[in-house]
Structure 1
Amino acid sequence: MDVFEIMTRNVDSLPSNYTVLDAAKKMRTLNVGVLPVTEEGHVVGMITDRDIVVRAISEELNPGNTSLKEVMSREIFSCKENADIAEAAKIMEERRVRRLLVQNNEGSVTGIISLGDIATHVQKELSGEILQQVSEPSFPRR
């Protein structure tokens, strides 16, 4: 099964100069926990609900005045939309992430695949293996 078959499509993003508060409101509206962050139409990072808590709120930064660029995760992990789900799962395990951007052959973002997508569409053993690797403690990356 290919990533394209189970990924979330029509992914919204926010520019890096938007605030943490903007991201939190958009996440609430869309009922999501992650948004790509862009500059000049290119993805330059990801902002997660965890980034907001660990890098902004716990540091007592003002969410209305703190830009996404200041707190976003800069490492971006992705896979191609025609990749096999096992390949995406391997990247998640190795990188200890719960979500990957999905790109077409031209490099444009076409979706996001999450551990939840894999868990609901594929063998439970595969999602369990990923969860075990992803859940090992590590420090937040920027």
Structure 2
Amino acid sequence: MMLVGEVLDMKGRRVVTIESGATVDEAVAKLVGNNVGSLPVVEEGRLVGVISERDVLRLMHHRGEGFGRLRVAEVMTCHPVTCRAADAVDDVMGLMTERRVAKVPVVEGDDLVGVVSVGDVVKLLYEKVSSENRHLLSYIQGGA
């Protein structure tokens, strides 16, 4: 069974975050500047929400002009889906599918320790399957 912590070990634990008092314009600049689709919203290292590209697009559609001056706290998703490093990747994948989220913050207690994405999981699973295939081919070819 593969654990979320293994995914974090592979990709690293660096997380780009934003504070709830920042403006939506600042959040958009961080999203674009770091080429990420969502930002965990933190206060004193504690996860309080998430703001995503989808949140920004909805805001633009509903609010139109001036949306960028709103505070992240006004538009973020509160109580986001989270997981722990000790959780099974299979369980987290099911959660991502069920809740239709592509990124899940990883928390230990109140501390944000990473973010795991669908892409991270797919990459790790692909590498695992590729490695197993190489081992099987080596075994088969060595036994012939």
- Is the TM value for this pair above 0.5? yes
Letter of the structure 1 residue corresponding to residue 79 of structure 2: E
Match of 1:27 among 3, 27, 31: 31
Amino acid at match of 1:120: K
Residues 19-67 of structure 1: per-residue CA shift (max 9 Å, x gap) = 1110111111211011011234321110001111112x11214244111
CA RMSD for the aligned pairs? 1.7
Shift of the alpha carbon at 1:3?
A: 1.0
- Quote the Cα distance in structure 1 between the aligned partners of 2:65 and 2:5: 38
| Matching residue of 1:116 | 119
Residue 88, structure 1, aligned to residue 92, structure 2: yes
1:77 to 78, 81, 95: 81
Match of 1:37 in 2: 41
The answer to whether the 8 Å contact 2:38/2:50 transfers is yes
Q: Report the count of equivalent residues.
A: 121
3-state secondary structure, aligned to 2:83 = strand
Identity across the alignment (%): 32
In the alignment, which of 52, 57, 60 is matched to residue 56 of structure 2? 52
Provide the residue aligned with 1:126 in structure 2.
none
How much has 1:17 moved relative to structure 2? 1.1
Structure 2 runs not aligned, ≥5 long = 127-144
What is the SS of the residue equivalent to 1:53?
helix
Tell me if the contact between 1:37 and 1:44 (Cα under 8 Å) persists in the aligned partners.
Answer: yes
Structure 1 contact 33–48 (Cα < 8 Å) conserved: yes
Moved beyond 6 Å, runs of 4+: none
Contact 2:41–2:49 (8 Å) recurs in 1: yes
Question: CA 1:16 to 1:61, structure 2 compared with 1: closer, same or farther past 3 Å?
Answer: farther
TM-score (norm 2): 0.75
Report what 1:99 is aligned to: 103
TM-score by length of 1: 0.76
Higher helix share: 2
